[in-house]
């Protein structure tokens, strides 16, 4: 059995770290295969590399040894942040990796004084929407044609401020 499908490793063996320039290629390919399926490939390695270099962006990798299992990229603005990409290899979904990536980004946002995180998910992607809802994100609106004029997006947001 190849390492990609081998989940006999403890999830604790998975390292979450800041992305490096060498990670731009694997992130771009995973975005194409996991997120942009059926759409033109827009998150090519060059675009990912620009985000890794951007001082207002945090790009993370979840890795087991040399294998990239997942990634997340979030852009920080003045008072809010925007999740650009989040993906986990199918064989490693439901192992807590996406949640670990999101918690890192949410903690970073809180430290930066960010109040709200925004994201879009494909309306047809019930799994992604359920994942974000489980983390406290609320569906705010639908955006018909958001994805290349073909698919509807669901805008989601989470207020990070403690509730009184």
Query: Which tokens go with 32?
Result: 């194409």
Is residue 39 within 8 A of residue 150, CB to CB? The reply is yes
Mean pLDDT of 58-65: 95
Query: Which tokens go with 98?
Result: 């996406």
> What's the confidence (pLDDT) of residue 66?
87
Residue whose token pair is 């890795």? 63
Q: Report the CATH fold assignment for 3-159.
A: Aminopeptidase (3.40.630)
Is residue 128 within 8 A of residue 148, CB to CB? The reply is no
Mean pLDDT of 16-35: 96
> What's the confidence (pLDDT) of residue 58?
97
> What's the confidence (pLDDT) of residue 4?
46
Task: Mark out the alpha helices in the chain (DSSP H runs).
Answer: 24-30, 45-53, 97-111, 126-134
DSSP assigned state of 79: S
Query: pTM of the entire structure?
Result: 0.90
> What's the confidence (pLDDT) of residue 161?
83
Of 104, 135, 107, nearest in space to 16 by CA: 104
Is residue 17 within 8 A of residue 61, CB to CB? The reply is yes
DSSP assigned state of 20: -
Query: Which tokens go with 93?
Result: 């979904």
**Gyration radius (Cα) of the chain, Å:** 15
Structure-model confidence comparison of residues 43 and 161, the more confident one: 43
Question: Does 5 score more than 50 pLDDT?
Answer: no
Mean pLDDT of 55-76: 96
Mean pLDDT of 74-99: 94
What is the domain partition of the chain in residue ranges?
3-159
Mean pLDDT of 16-34: 96
Q: For every residue of 135-154, which 3-state class applies, written as one string?
A: CCCEEEEEEEEEECCCEEEE
% of the chain with per-residue pLDDT over 90: 80
Provide the mean pLDDT of the chain: 91
> What's the confidence (pLDDT) of residue 164?
67
> What's the confidence (pLDDT) of residue 154?
95
Question: Does 83 score more than 90 pLDDT?
Answer: yes
CA 30 from centre of chain: 11
């Amino acid at each position: 059995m190849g390492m990609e499908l081998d989940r006999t490793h403890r999830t604790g063996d998975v390292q979450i770290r800041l992305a490096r320039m060498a990670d731009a290629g694997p992130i771009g390919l995973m975005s194409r295969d996991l997120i942009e399926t059926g759409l033109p490939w827009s998150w090519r390695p060059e675009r990912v590399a620009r985000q890794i270099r951007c001082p207002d962006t945090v790009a993370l990798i979840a890795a087991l040894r040399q294998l990239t299992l997942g990634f997340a990229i979030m852009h920080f603005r003045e008072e809010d942040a925007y999740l650009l990409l989040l993906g986990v290899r199918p064989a490693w979904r439901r192992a807590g990796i996406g949640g670990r990536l999101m918690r890192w980004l949410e903690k970073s946002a809180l430290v930066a004084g960010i109040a709200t995180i925004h994201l879009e998910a494909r309306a047809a992607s019930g799994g992604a929407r359920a994942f974000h809802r489980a983390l406290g994100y609320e569906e705010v609106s639908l955006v018909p044609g958001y994805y290349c004029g073909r698919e509807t997006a669901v805008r989601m947001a989470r207020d990070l401020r403690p509730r009184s």
